[in-house]
Amino acid sequence: MSTYPDTSAQELENTLAAAQGAAREFSALRPRERAAAVRAAADALDAAADELVPVAREESHLPEPRLRGELARTTFQLRLFAELVEDGGYLRASLDTADPEWPPGARPDLRRMMIPLGPVVVFGASNFPFAFSVAGGDTAAALAAGCPVIVKAHPGHPELSTRTARIVAGALAEAGAPKGVFSLIHGEEAGRLAVQDPRVKAGAFTGSLAGGRALGDLAASRPEPIPFYAEMESLNPVFVTERAAAERGDEVAEGYAGSYTMGAGQFCTKPGLLFVPEGSGIEEAVAERVRGLASAQLLNDRVMGGYDSGLERLSGHDAVRTVVPGGTGEAGERSPALLATTVDEVLRHGEELMAECFGPASLLVTYTDEAQLVAAARALRGQLTATVQGTPAEAGEGAVRELLDELRDRAGRVLWNSWPTGVAVTHAMHHGGPYPATSVPLHTSVGTAAIERFMRPVTYQAMPDELLPEALRDANPLGVPRSVNGGAPDRDA
Amino acid sequence: MSTYPDTSAQELENTLAAAQGAAREFSALRPRERAAAVRAAADALDAAADELVPVAREESHLPEPRLRGELARTTFQLRLFAELVEDGGYLRASLDTADPEWPPGARPDLRRMMIPLGPVVVFGASNFPFAFSVAGGDTAAALAAGCPVIVKAHPGHPELSTRTARIVAGALAEAGAPKGVFSLIHGEEAGRLAVQDPRVKAGAFTGSLAGGRALGDLAASRPEPIPFYAEMESLNPVFVTERAAAERGDEVAEGYAGSYTMGAGQFCTKPGLLFVPEGSGIEEAVAERVRGLASAQLLNDRVMGGYDSGLERLSGHDAVRTVVPGGTGEAGERSPALLATTVDEVLRHGEELMAECFGPASLLVTYTDEAQLVAAARALRGQLTATVQGTPAEAGEGAVRELLDELRDRAGRVLWNSWPTGVAVTHAMHHGGPYPATSVPLHTSVGTAAIERFMRPVTYQAMPDELLPEALRDANPLGVPRSVNGGAPDRDA
């Protein structure tokens, strides 16, 4: 991890003042203008790929094809949010016509839309140096919402963060966004101070439970508490039914091995728990595949240290067998590890065995009776994802449904015969879930709905047409979809 | 205030266990069933009006016509939420079809909908013993969302709370809702314990800033923090332009006097600050009307004590003149008070002069230059409402627009030539606002959007049709509006 000077108190003050100063003007940009600014950032990042990818490679140790793909995902994401802004549906415009007969009393003319919350602090993550960092999903959503953004750089890739921020800030300015609408700060203390500053109106974070909780607690304890959206810890359990194990155990083993070792296990959706029938042979099949996989350098020293101690804690537990020990290469790379235990032990030692181990390790859990799966599901804390590997015949039966009900109550995304890694940036995605997967289970940090985190409603009552925001005027000059008297949204005037 | 036994630890445990036990079954009711249960509660309350209103009258000192109207509002509200459940739009169903060409990587079949959070604790308010209490807006929204509700009774109307709860619980049970889906607890300690219980997944509150903040802090400091929606303190300022004062000063004076003394000033939307041009004569006109108004008993001793000390604090302030002193009647009634100061003093002593005084008192603030209004607006904390009294000619001019922009940034509802008291229960209403008006500015506690506070998204990935909730199945058997691939919601299969 390279060192980089922390943002000074004076620099932070300038940054916060500039963000606040830009808020009104940025929120007042017309949709096409704001969309153009966000697209300009995407274009500039794409154009700078050959500059940025090598820096990302050096700072994150991630392979080049992955980083090029991730940058493409990042700019696609920015452009998808630009489309959303132009569409206008995210404003959730709702109009009630005046109605003297409305029970239980006359109803005035009421018109509601979403407006930006104000300056947002985004904490970049280390594991996606593009897609969940400086110009990642939180930034894209907040800018699209019309909020100035202050990114706190992740110390794992300070140089990439600085270069990315320079490109984004330049592109936004050139596209006509006000000065101060985007900036970067360095250092933990600057991040903490920003979360506590009265000019900041929301925070977003992707990272560890300890880090997210500490910052969320600061946000909640302010004189004016602010929403703090932290995406933190998830085991992403996978449950394999007896029949699925019998019919396609090999396919499951291959899929699982690929999913938990993808990106060296450094995904928030990495499956860390695999429930399989005892004696199904899946353990051996996963182990065989994992042994054949290349080792990889982890993101940075902090991640490596956390992984090593997590793996040591798990593998040293009396109830855990080491199936594939993992190992350390000459340049410090880590090769994947596979551990095993039984469902009874998981239920007995839940807190110790069901804790996230970020990196290429996973715990295989054997069961002897499918009924144990429901009990295991009930012992889970909040998860980003939960997966069932079953068979078509089982889909019509009660047992799987019961398991799915338990998983739905604990997870943000429930999968069938697929793998949780790879989170599509789209409309119906939900990347969230009950605590500790996230700090606020109502929201997603991936997909278009992520914009809702940074907006609040305001209703205008009996306002003359010329004083209304354009989106709420009689003639609907922006053509945004609007719900009238509770009906389905449409774009008519 | 009558005394009533606090809920014991064992009773609370039974209540919480029953709520948790009912959650799954209640959330699984089909829309028509849940709507029928909510409607049954409304019908039963209407049928019990002659039993409930006299109890409410005795416990709250509010006049009978007001209470009958409030009960009608309450049952209307329940029925409106029942309609919402049947409509299905509140599920915000969103479907992405599988798309191997989706950039930057193949997209699986993803289907998202809202599901209930789980048991909710609702803290009843004193000032609307029906509409914001046991069967009020928070309860209606949470039940409609599919969440079991535990109401913490307000000590100001324990007997009414008990009777209301008995009727609601009975009607819900008779309509087929599971046992434990609705219950009532008494006592501050029981309320605090409920907010901290791991089985409770959200809280809602209407009342004082001190009370809401203390409970919100408990909710935020749990091992698993939960959303806590508190509606607390608001001054609901009204700004009268020079021209409005000149053209219709009398009308403004009459409207203002009526609005701030309505219900003896015991509304969360009571306007507590009136900005008028110096020498406009509005002060005298308001005073004249207020002197002619009857006195009224306040809700209870606690409210009376708070009002007396708030009024004493304000009227005793060096910068404040007493225009109408208010007074105390033989039976302890309070007659309305009017105080006055200047905008310079408000800017100088913001914290002392801009604090809510719940009850029939208001502070009139004179200005000499309209530019002072923008400065005053900038000094405001978060508000439920902010109002401008202007003239049609001004609507086309810049000065009013600048003032409205400042107010929009600080309030949840912005009004023109109307009065903030009287909050319509409808689709486009927003009853919320930045802190300290509420604890979470993203949400409303009145109107159909209030249901969103008690739901979270879940996305199903590649799930067989028969394992999906009905709302997400291919054939759309419930006919709910669904957005497909980000398009406008429609009810087609």
Cβ contacts (< 8 Å) between A76 and chain B: which residues? Answer: 103-104
Given an 8 Å threshold on Cβ–Cβ distance, is A426 in contact with B461? no
DSSP one-letter code for A473: S
Which residues, including other chains, have CB under 8 Å from residue A182's CB and lie 6 or more apart? Answer: A139, A143, A148, A149, A151, A165, A168, A169, A172
Taking CA–CA distances from A455, the nearest residue in chain B reads: B442
Q: Counting one residue from A and one from B, how many pairs have CB atoms under 8 Å apart?
A: 240
Verify whether the Cβ–Cβ distance A462 to B418 is below 8 Å. yes
Asked if A283 and A364 count as a contact pair (C-beta separation under 8 A), the reply is yes
DSSP-derived secondary structure for B385-423 = EEEEE--GGGGGSHHHHHHHHHHHTTEEEEEESS-S-S-
Burial of B398 (0-12, 13-18, 19+ CB in 10 A): exposed
Question: What span, in angstroms and rounded, lies between the C-alpha atoms of A6 and A2?
Answer: 12
CA distance B227 to B215: 11
pLDDT along chain A (493 residues), means of 10: 84 98 97 97 98 98 97 98 97 96 91 98 97 98 98 97 98 97 98 98 97 98 98 98 97 98 96 98 98 94 95 96 93 95 96 93 97 97 98 90 97 98 95 98 98 98 97 97 93 77
B407: Cβ contacts below 8 Å, ≥ 6 apart: B239, B377, B380, B383, B386, B388, B414
Residue B467 has its nearest CB partner, among A102, A221, A400, at A400
Contact check, Cβ <8 Å, A104/B444: no
CA distance, residue A394 to nearest chain B CA (Å): 10
A96 chain-B contacts, CB cut-off 8 A: 424, 426-429
From chain B, the residues in CB contact with A217 under 8 A are 220-221
Of residues A381, A401, A459, nearest to B429 (C-beta): A459
| Distance of alpha carbon B274 from alpha carbon B263, whole angstroms | 18
Partner-chain contact B441 A456, CB within 8 Å = yes
Q: State whether residue B20 sits within 8 Å of chain A by CB.
A: no
**Separation in Å, CA of B461 to nearest CA in chain A:** 5
Please say whether the structural domain A9-232+442-484 has been given the CATH code 3.40.190.10. Answer: no
pLDDT at B483 > cutoff 60: yes
Cβ A96–B428 below 8 Å, yes or no?
yes
pLDDT of res. B1: 46
- Radius of gyration (C-alpha) of chain B in whole angstroms: 24
- Nearest to residue B124, comparing CAs of B150, B153, B147? B153
Contacting residues of A for B79, CB less than 8 Å apart: none
H helix or E strand, kind and range, residue A40: helix A31-47
Residue B140 has a pLDDT of: 98
Residue in chain A closest to B114 (alpha carbons) equals A442
Chain A residues in contact with B396 (beta carbon < 8 A): 466
Q: Kindly tell me the burial class for residue A265, based on how many C-beta atoms sit within 10 Å of its own C-beta (0-12, 13-18, 19 or more).
A: buried
Residue A458 to residue B412, Cβ atoms within 8 A: yes
Please, which residues have CB within 8 angstroms of residue A474's CB and are 6 or more apart in sequence? A465, A493
The full DSSP string for B220-252 is HHSSS---EEEE------EEE-HHHHHHHHHHH
Q: Which of residues 202-221 of A touch B (CB under 8 A)?
A: 216-217, 220-221
Determine the distance in angstroms separating the CA of B324 from the nearest CA of chain A, rounded to an integer: 30
Contact between chains at A448 and B486 (C-beta distance less than 8 A): yes
Mean pLDDT of chain B: 96
Residues B427, A94: C-beta atoms closer than 8 Å = yes
Compute CA distances B445 → A419, B142, B317, B440, B441, whole Å: 39, 11, 34, 11, 11
Look at residue B478 and tell me whether its pLDDT is greater than 70: yes
Instruction: Decide if A78 touches B, using CB distance below 8 A.
Output: no
Find chain B residues with C-beta within 8 A of A486's C-beta.
87, 426-427, 448
CB A191 within 8 A of CB A123: yes
- Alpha-carbon separation of residue A7 from A188, A193, A196, A222 (angstroms): 9, 11, 16, 22
**Confidence check: pLDDT of B71 > 90:** yes
Nearest chain A residue to B109 by CA: give it: A428
Among A231, A242, A345, A370, the active-site one is A231
Instruction: Tell me how far apart the terminal alpha carbons of chain A are, to the nearest angstrom.
Output: 56
Q: Are B413 and A458 inside 8 Å of each other by CB?
A: yes
The amino acid present at A199, given as its one-letter code, is: R
* Longest alpha-carbon distance in chain B: 79
Q: CB of B479 within 8 Å of any CB in chain A?
A: no
Nearest CA in chain A to B216: A220
Quick check: A97 contacting B, CB < 8 Å?
no
Residue B432 contacts A where some CB pair is shorter than 8 Å: yes
For the stretch B383-395, pLDDT in tens is 999 999 999 999 9
pLDDT digits (tens, 9 = 90+) for A190-246: 999 999 999 999 999 999 999 999 999 999 999 999 999 999 999 999 999 999 999
- What is the nearest CA distance from A286 to chain B, expressed in angstroms? 23
Q: What is the largest CA-CA distance in chain A?
A: 79
Chain A interface test: which of B130, B458, B463 (most A C-beta within 10 Å):
B458
Which candidate from A108, A111, A412 shows the least CB-CB separation from B424?
Answer: A108
- Confidence (pLDDT) at B488: 87
Residues of chain B contacting residue A225, judged by C-beta atoms under 8 Å apart: 216, 220, 435, 439
**Positions of B marked catalytic:** 231, 268
Task: Tell me whether residues B488 and A460 touch, CB distance under 8 A.
Answer: no
Burial (Cβ within 10 Å: 0-12, 13-18, ≥19) of residue B281: middle
Measured CA to CA, the distance from residue B311 to residue B356 in angstroms comes to 10
Residue B2 clears pLDDT 60, i.e. is over it: no
Structure-token pair, residue B310: 């708030």
Distance CA A225, CA B475 (A): 44
CB contact under 8 A, B432 and A489: no
A238-416, CATH topology level:
Aldehyde Dehydrogenase; Chain A, domain 2 (3.40.309)
Dist CA B244 CA B255 (whole Å) = 13
Nearest Cα of chain B lies from the Cα of A321 at a distance, in angstroms, of: 31
Asked if A464 is an interface residue toward chain B (Cβ–Cβ < 8 A), one would say: yes
CA distances from A80 to A58, A86, A141, A174 (A): 29, 10, 10, 20
CA atoms A297, A302, A303, A309: torsion sign: positive
Question: From CA B373, how far away is CA B386, in angstroms rounded?
Answer: 12
pLDDT tens figures, B453-471: 999 999 999 999 999 999 9
Q: B28: which residues sit within 8 A by CB, 6+ positions away?
A: none
- Topology alike, domains B9-232+442-484 and B238-416: no
**B218: which 2 tokens?**
């408990």
Q: To the nearest 10°, the Cα dihedral for B202, B207, B213, B214?
A: -80
Contact between A373 and A277 (Cβ < 8 Å) = no
Interchain contact, B457 vs A225, CB within 8 Å: no
pLDDT tens by residue, A405-418:
999 999 999 999 99
Catalytic residue among A268, A345, A370, A406: A268
Is B429 in contact with A382 (Cβ distance < 8 A)? no
Whether residue B33 is predicted with pLDDT greater than 90 in this model: the reply is yes
Q: Residue B83 phi/psi, 5° resolution?
A: -60, -40
Across the interface, which of B89, B404, B418 has its CB nearest the CB of A467?
B404
Query: What are the sequence ranges of the domains in chain B?
Result: 9-232+442-484, 238-416
Residue from the list B95, B444, B464 with its beta carbon closest to the beta carbon of A428: B95
Using the predicted structure, report yes or no on whether residue B493 has a pLDDT greater than 70: no
For A427, which of B73, B76, B94 is closest by C-beta distance?
B94
- Beta-carbon separation of A488 and B481 below 8 A: yes
> Which chain A residues are within 8 Å of B395, Cβ to Cβ?
464, 466-467
Above 70 in pLDDT, residue B289?
yes
CA distance A65 to A59: 15
> A490 and B486 in contact by Cβ < 8 A?
no
Task: Tell me if B249 sits within 8 A of B283, measured CB to CB.
Answer: no
Interface of B with A in 307-366 (CB under 8 A): none
Instruction: Tell me which H or E stretch contains A120.
Output: strand A120-123
B294 to chain A, closest Cα gap in Å: 24
- pLDDT per residue as tens digits for the range B195-225: 999 999 999 999 999 999 999 999 999 999 9
Contacts of A105 in chain B (CB under 8 A): 69, 73, 422, 424
| Nearest alpha-carbon partner for A360 in A232, A258, A288, A239 | A258
Query: Considering Cα of A444, then A450, then A456, then A460, what sign does the dihedral take?
Result: negative
